Amino acid sequence: MIFKMKKEGTVVIILNSENKFLLQLRDNKPGIEFPGKWSLFGGGMETGETPTECIIREIKEEINLQVAQEEIIYFKEYKLENEIIHTFVFKTNLSPSKEIQLNEGQKAELFSRQQLEKLNLPETINKIFEDYFKSFINSK
């Protein structure tokens, strides 16, 4: 019997001081996950990399932002059929129009919670936000 290894990846909920969420409009290329859709920043883990190391690297690669380990908060692990996704939260004062250098994707934009509900997000990303809002509301 052959077992296929699950791949592991990370995503980050980036929240600014106005409680808006920074999302990436994914490139519209065949072969990538969620082409042409709004999604969270993140990516696959490299061999020997921890989830925290991965998300710090992905934030640097995708929006050219250096983040210290203590600035990000581990949120939750999602076990999907063929993938494990580690989810983080990062709070910042950045605005994409002035301070973010987008290196991957078509564009980055801030959205309110109400605007998120109107976007056609990938199912996994919807679930992550749903869990985030439940946790956030329940922790107040």
Q: Is residue 1 part of a domain?
A: no
Q: Is residue 90 part of a domain?
A: yes
Range of the domain at 15: 7-138
Does the pLDDT value for residue 4 go beyond 80? no
Average pLDDT, the chain: 88
Q: Is residue 88 part of a domain?
A: yes
Rounded average pLDDT over 27-48 = 89
Does the pLDDT value for residue 139 go beyond 80? no
Name the pLDDT band for 140 (thresholds 50, 70, 90): very low
pLDDT on residue 60: 94
Q: Which carries the bigger pLDDT value, residue 73 or residue 98?
A: 73
Q: Is residue 2 part of a domain?
A: no
Question: Given CA atoms 63, 64, 65, 68 in this order, what sign does their dihedral have?
Answer: positive
pLDDT on residue 36: 87
Does the pLDDT value for residue 131 go beyond 50? yes
- The tally of domains found in the chain comes to 1
Q: What's the CATH code of the domain at 16? A: 3.90.79.10
For residue range 94-111, what is the model confidence (pLDDT) as tens digits?
A: 765 566 788 889 999 999
